[in-house]
Amino acid sequence: MTAPRTADRVAIVTGGSRGIGRQTAARLADDGFAVVVNYASNKVEADAAVEDLERAGARAIAFQADVADEVAVASMFDQAESTFGGVDVVVHAAGIMPLAPLVDLDLDVLDRVLRTNVRGTFVVDQQAARRLRPGGAIINFSSSLTRFSRPGYTAYGASKGAVEAITLILARELRGRDITVNTVAPGPTATALFLDGKSDELITRIAGESPLGRLGQPADLAEIVAFLAGPGRWINGQVLYANGGAI
């Protein structure tokens, strides 16, 4: 299996305007990828991400799309193809994480989590499976919470368990296409999604669970994605738990 030259490759990064997605977009751009920065609503953040990429010499555009909306996602792929000539790598980092014990969880919130995290993965992966060029890679995001099993994360953990199942099955459905499909499952990572609403004491305690004694950083995850998008061609149909050894 031989991937195209990196300088000719194009990546779509969902949730690419902030956190792990934004760091991943920058890391792929460093490897010569043209990048489509997908965002849900915050145009200011997305435009800032694109400006940073362009200042670093990368080709980049922003595209607003609800990842669970198949029409919007198809339009995003259309734009990537018309602007850059095709798509080689899809990094699906978009997701939401409202917290509540199962007994207290508003079912409307559950529906929203499943729509974004599960249907969103299905919609994005479906377009990727239809459109990626040979030598391509689909990289989804789950969470080490599928193993940590922390109270309060029932909806989020359930949605990420579904992402892992989608990944493992899709890798086998794409037999013969020379496209890899993997999931990265971060542990606690210093992003707004994780840090919001947590006390300093709680953050310190969680950071200490890793033998490395710290939270993950978005750059830690971006390096793993870059490997899967580039030289890591023999890794396929896997869930990579990236949590500093906390489990």
Span 106-116, average pLDDT: 98
Element (H, E) at 46: helix 43-55
Q: Look at residues 143, 11, 161, 167 and name the one whose alpha carbon lies nearest to residue 77.
A: 11
Q: Looking at residue 7, what is its pLDDT?
A: 57
SS3 151: coil
pLDDT per position as a tens digit, 128-148: 999 999 999 999 999 999 998
Confidence of residue 3 (pLDDT cuts 50, 70, 90): very low
6 has pLDDT over 60 = no
Task: Measure the CA angle with vertex 131, ends 45 and 97; round to 5°.
Answer: 40
pLDDT per position as a tens digit, 28-69: 999 999 999 999 999 999 999 999 999 999 999 999 999 999
Beta strands (DSSP E) in 126-227 are 137-141, 180-186
Q: CA–CA distance from 81 to each of 9, 44, 70 (Å)?
A: 11, 24, 17
The residues assigned a catalytic role are 156
Domain range summary for the chain, segments of one domain joined by +:
6-242
pTM to 2 decimal places: 0.94
Instruction: Give the whole-angstrom CA distance, residue 11 versus residue 63.
Output: 13
Other beta carbons less than 10 A from residue 158's beta carbon: 17
CATH architecture of 6-242: 3-Layer(aba) Sandwich (3.40)
Q: Looking at residue 4, what is its pLDDT?
A: 47
